[in-house]
Amino acid sequence: VAGGEDCLWYVDRNGSWHPGFDCEFFTFCCGTCHQRYCCRDPLRLLTERQQRHCLAFSPKTIAGIASAVVLFIAIVTTIVCCFMCSCCYLYQRRQQSRTPLQGPEIPLSSYPPAAPPAHFPVDPKTGPTPPQPGFNPMAMYPPPDPTAQYPMYSYGPPVYNPTAPPPYVPAQPSYPGA
């Protein structure tokens, strides 16, 4: 075993921090995880690997790592829940920023149903086929007018009207002596 082993920093049993120090030539770092000193006895040698093991598995280190992991999981869980809960600000914000293609589907029940597919191939040389018995042709609907469906919807930004009354503001209670 070579001499000159260094003693790394350590924390004693009272929780006090002690800086690391160098041992002289032909002396070694001896002691325990909580008390270190230089000595000449190689049987009491505390190698740097053993000293690092003391630091890595101390109760304070394990408690610090465990609390950091729990805090990380709590933050991630809170963020995920906030994006999923309808009462949370982030969920409402995400719903407002959806594009129209992602919005709710509008039922098209007022439009006529599509024509059923033909059961036989149509020869283009023969021309139009005569109407079938019991089938009355219907007139095509004109395309819907968007203003007829949504009469209250105004296009463009709101117009400023300086003569309009201010928006409703509820009256504040007055306190005596105020």
Look at residue 45 and give its three-state secondary structure: strand
Distance from C-alpha of 165 to C-alpha of 129, rounded to nearest angstrom: 65
CB atoms within 10 A of CB 175: 6
28-71 pLDDT tens trace: 899 988 899 999 988 888 888 888 888 766 677 778 888 999 99
Q: E strands within the chain?
A: 6-7, 10-11, 17-18, 21-22, 28-31, 36-39
Burial of 33 (0-12, 13-18, 19+ CB in 10 A): middle
Distance from C-alpha of 159 to C-alpha of 62, rounded to nearest angstrom: 63
Residue 26 is predicted with a pLDDT of 85
- Work out the pLDDT band at 131, boundaries 50, 70, 90: low
